[in-house]
Homo-oligomer: A and B are copies of this chain.
């Protein structure tokens, strides 16, 4: 197989996002990551719902489907059922996958359908010009909430964990390398891989993640998770996560015993849940792979297996089928 380059993944369609949109960075990162991950372009399918983020497939020189709002996980499931060998990526927005599409997302996860989901979370409805989304913070003033929104935001990672999603990760839009690395792991994962990408909507929710994404804010406000490593962050790695009676807390490295710093264990679902429910500014924003469960059976494989067993069990005799259990002759 010839090695592919990012530009092999570039279609002839002009990219139509706003200048400065975080989606550009993600697109570039994905185009770059795929050749590294490998696999044939013709076996890759990008599926999306509706939204700015959901325009993604048009820009990927693979097979692609820009479907309808919120239903991408269902389309992706159908694609996998029809052909489990395909490498199916789902890219869509927070409104798409968590508001109208929350249920399909959740059910795909609990079934462990082998799709890799990149949820581009800009905490806003971009394409419809700026209503609050299910991840918008309480009090957010938008076109549809002139007095501030009153809906507690969804915790995407926590929901994924409760839905037994077997691969849960988080990344910044502008972090091409970590995103590539996570994608690589997601691609190798047997089951639903969920990656929340914190994405900047330059127009309607600019700087939503600046507390975590900027050179000067990142060290203090993000926690880079590495399996087996203690959870330390801060400009001078001076802050850490510890556990108390009330659950996780933030402390100064200097004030605690090294042994008391919580060590990241990506196989520990409860701890992942604690990470998933941490909220800025009380906590840093966790980034990296939160949770991996490599032991869950893959849905489409189980499905294929039943078909195979059914075939082994009885011949596919259409004549016999139509004939049925009981017939009679008219002469």
Contact = CB atoms under 8 A, between A and B. Distances in A.
Contacts of A99: 107
Contacts of A274: 270
A296 interface: yes
B152 A162 contact: no
A249 to B, nearest CB: 12
Interface stretch (A5-13, A115-123, A298-306): A298-306
A309 interface: yes
Interface stretch (A153-161, A182-190, A212-220, A228-236): A153-161
Contacts of A269: 247, 277
A147 B103 CA distance: 26
B110 A154 contact: yes
Interface in A83-124: 99-103, 106-107, 110-112
A247 B274 CA distance: 13
Contact of A150 (B147, B277, B302): B302
A38 interface: no
A144 interface: no
A43 interface: no
B111 A147 contact: no
Contacts of A111: 150-152
A274 B246 CA distance: 14
A163 B276 CA distance: 12
A268 interface: yes
A151 B110 contact: yes
Contacts of A134: 107, 110
A147 B273 CA distance: 34
Q: What is the interface residue range for chain A against chain B? A: 35 or more
B110 A106 contact: no
Given A150-B303, A247-B268, A270-B273, A106 B112 contact: no
Contacts of A273: 162, 270, 273
B151 A162 contact: no
A164 B135 CA distance: 13
A32 to B, nearest CB: 33
Contact of A306 (B100, B147, B246): B147
A111 B274 CA distance: 21
B159 A310 contact: no
A106 B306 contact: no
Interface of A: 99-103, 106-107, 110-112, 134, 147-148, 150-155, 158-159, 161-164, 246-247, 268-270, 273-274, 276-277, 296-297, 299, 302-303, 306, 309-310
23 contacts: A100-B103, A101-B103, A102-B102, A102-B106, A103-B103, A106-B154, A110-B152, A111-B152, A112-B152, A147-B306, A147-B309, A150-B297, A154-B163, A155-B162, A158-B162, A159-B159, A159-B162, A246-B268, A247-B270, A270-B270, A270-B273, A270-B274, A273-B273
- The 8 A-B pairs with the shortest beta carbon distances in the complex, nearest first, are A162-B162, A103-B103, A150-B302, A158-B162, A102-B103, A159-B162, A147-B306, A247-B270
